[in-house]
Amino acid sequence: MKGPLTAYCLPLTLLVPALLVAQQPTVPPRHFSKLAHTYSIVAWDSVTGDLGVAVESKFPNVGGIVPWARAGVGAVATQSLSNTAFGERGLELIAMGASAGEAMRIVMHSDTMLQDRQVGMVDARGGAASFTGTRTFDWAGGRVGTPGTPGGTLGGKGTVIVGHGYAAQANIMVSDQTVKNLAETFERTPGDLSTRLMAALKAGQAGGGDKRGMQSAALLVVRKNAGYLGANDRFIDIRVYDAVDPIAELERLLALHVLYFFPSRDADLVVISPAVVAQLEPILLREPANQPEKWLARPQGTANQAFLEALRNFMYWENYDVRVRMDGKIDQVVLADILSKHP
């Protein structure tokens, strides 16, 4: 790449050893308890352009440490002894035109504790890179997507690996099966980016996961103007601070997020027929509970303006903000949820 970034892109041979460093156990240093013993995957969706990170760890609030992403730019997972510069500076460099691999190498060059780090990066063109320092604890390594190679390319300690589509990395794992599962599951899972990332995260744990167990997890997906009511780019931003089964909790929270923050799909819209009115009207006549004035003062029997306004107010009250409509239709996903909560 030409331009101002070129001077910082040192040859890989100056930054890392030519050979993989043997995976030999080492004595934990004093800062061991501060390391985010973690597995993660950063990825790009070629269909939507979404960028995201999924991560799990035996470490509290991993979502406040590891995942970074910027819509239209890239995504980063910085772990082991996390260095926020990989997130902040890395995304700045990618926004300036660097690839994920170039941005990673530039930040690496100024990192005085590089061999304690582990990082994965992906850019909005699909470029991906992963690095594992020589002082990370076994098992530690990563994989990046490689077209035509199931499970991508494997990299060990002291090595930068570059590829396409995703980067998976892990440290203090039971074995290399965790990153293998992350990569292969992400590749073969259909659906949107959040679905693929969650499937990969679950498969990573099935491969053994962190030697010490589970504690926290996070899912971050960015898309331009896809946040709450289009006001920001945080399409999905969910963190499980501390839980016995953080992946199961993350999955539960994602289902809630889809219900309350995703807009309706055209396929889920149904006409508010007299039968639907008959289901909803008793609820509107008795809600809000413990308040004298109800959403509907009297039965309407049809989806007229008074009924639609009452339904709109009720839906805002119940937090279905992004699925509110005034066109005589209702999202059947919301309808089912309303009826389950107000039998």
CB 165 within 8 A of CB 143: no
pLDDT at site 27: 47
95 burial (CB, 10 Å; 0-12 / 13-18 / 19+) is middle
Give residue 30's pLDDT. Answer: 52
**pTM of this structure:** 0.84
Provide the token pair at 179. 């990153």
- Residues of the chain with confidence (pLDDT) below 50: 1-29, 31-36
* Beta-bridge partners for 117: 80
Per-residue model confidence (pLDDT) at position 24 = 38
Alpha-carbon Rg for the chain in angstroms: 24
Buried b (16+ CB within 10 A) or exposed e, 219-233: bbbbbeebbeeeeeb
Question: Residue 22 has which token pair?
Answer: 């043997």
SS3 assignment for 66-116: CEEEECCCEEEEEEECCCHHHHHHHHHHHHCCCCHHHHHHHHHHCCCCHHH
User: Which of 165, 125, 123, 166 has the alpha carbon at shortest distance from 142?
Assistant: 166
Tokens of 33: 């308890």
Predicted confidence at residue 11, as pLDDT, reads: 43
Which pLDDT score is estimated for 14? 38
User: Quick check: 119 and 133 in contact, CB under 8 A?
Assistant: no
Q: Give the pLDDT score at 211.
A: 60
Ordered structural domains, the chain, with CATH: 6-261 (3.60.20.10), 266-341 (no CATH)
- Looking at residue 264, its pLDDT comes to 94
Buried residues in 263-278 as b, exposed as e (16+ CB within 10 A)? ebeeeebeebeeebbe
Q: Which tokens in the block code for residue 310?
A: 């009452």
Which element (helix H / strand E) includes 119? Answer: strand 117-123
Q: How far is CA 6 from CA 1, 11, 37, 105, 172, in A?
A: 6, 11, 33, 11, 35
Q: What is the pLDDT of residue 12?
A: 38
pLDDT of amino acid 323? 95
Token readout for 8 is: 């910082």
Burial class (CB in 10 A: 0-12, 13-18, 19+), 186: buried
- One-letter amino acid of 191: G
The Cβ of residue 191 has, within 10 Å, a number of other Cβ atoms equal to 11
